[in-house]
């Protein structure tokens, strides 16, 4: 399968999830974690989805009835996650006809996108796809998560701030000089060993002085 890896800005995603069971609940939770606004249409809404709505209802709307093509509305991402093959196929067809990207739970190759196993540590996002085998992707994700922990979350947040402030105050050339020093071939080893934090603190002091 050919694939194009992209990172979507969650706050710009308007998602429709068709289905109200356990699979739909997992999809909804992942979309909300990413910052999306989500609308669910299903003939039956599970207790787990209702609990999510109670906790995070500001970006989640539940509609309890059968799906129709008009439900796609302004959604730019669509998830077909019902237990009925014909409904999921119809959702995928409608989304494709309207130029929207659909993910199909029971037939992934029928859709335009599939979710990846994701690890988040602050601003660091690592996503894994493993030939359509979610269990394998989760195992690889968990192995990566054990290494890319809070040290990266803190370091990358500070690095992004340094980049923004340095470019604003002194221009791109000075940022490139800092980046050459901070983001070299040994970046990961330096983050984990503490050398990165020391050098970053020095650059932060230099930026503040200017």
Listed by start position, the domains of the chain span: 10-115, 150-209
Measured at the CA of 200, the angle between CA 121 and CA 122, to 5 degrees, comes to: 10
Please tell me the predicted confidence (pLDDT) of residue 210.
60
Spatial separation of the C-alpha atoms in residues 153 and 189, rounded to whole Å: 15
Could you tell me which of 93, 4, 77 has the C-alpha nearest to residue 34?
77
Question: 28-79: per-residue pLDDT in tens?
Answer: 999 998 899 999 999 999 999 999 999 987 899 999 999 999 999 999 999 9
| Cα 117 to Cα 92, 134, 179, distances in angstroms | 22, 7, 29
CATH code for the part of the protein at 10-115: 3.40.50.720
Rounded to an integer, the average pLDDT of 100-123 is 90
Better-predicted residue by pLDDT, 130 or 155: 155
Question: 88-110: per-residue pLDDT in tens?
Answer: 999 999 999 999 999 999 998 89
The three-class DSSP label of residue 17 is strand
């Amino acid at each position: 399968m050919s694939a194009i890896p992209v990172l979507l800005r969650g706050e710009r995603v308007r998602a429709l999830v068709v289905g109200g069971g356990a699979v739909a609940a997992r999809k909804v939770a992942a979309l909300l974690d990413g910052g999306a606004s989500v609308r669910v249409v299903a003939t039956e809404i599970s207790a787990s989805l209702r609990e999510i709505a109670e906790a995070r209802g500001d970006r989640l709307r539940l509609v309890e009835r059968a799906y129709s093509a008009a439900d796609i509305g302004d959604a730019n991402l669509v998830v077909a996650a019902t237990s009925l093959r014909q409904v999921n196929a119809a959702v995928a067809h409608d989304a494709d006809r309207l130029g929207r990207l659909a993910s199909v739970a029971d037939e992934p190759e029928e859709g335009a996108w599939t979710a990846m196993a994701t690890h988040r540590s602050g601003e660091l996002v690592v996503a894994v796809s493993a030939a359509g085998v979610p269990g394998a992707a989760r195992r690889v994700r968990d192995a990566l998560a054990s290494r890319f922990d809070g040290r990266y979350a803190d370091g990358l947040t500070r690095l992004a701030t340094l980049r923004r402030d340095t470019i604003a105050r002194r221009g791109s050339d000075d940022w490139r000089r800092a980046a050459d020093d901070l983001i070299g071939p040994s970046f990961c080893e330096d983050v984990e060993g503490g050398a990165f934090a020391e050098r970053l603190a020095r650059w932060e002091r230099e930026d503040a002085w200017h």
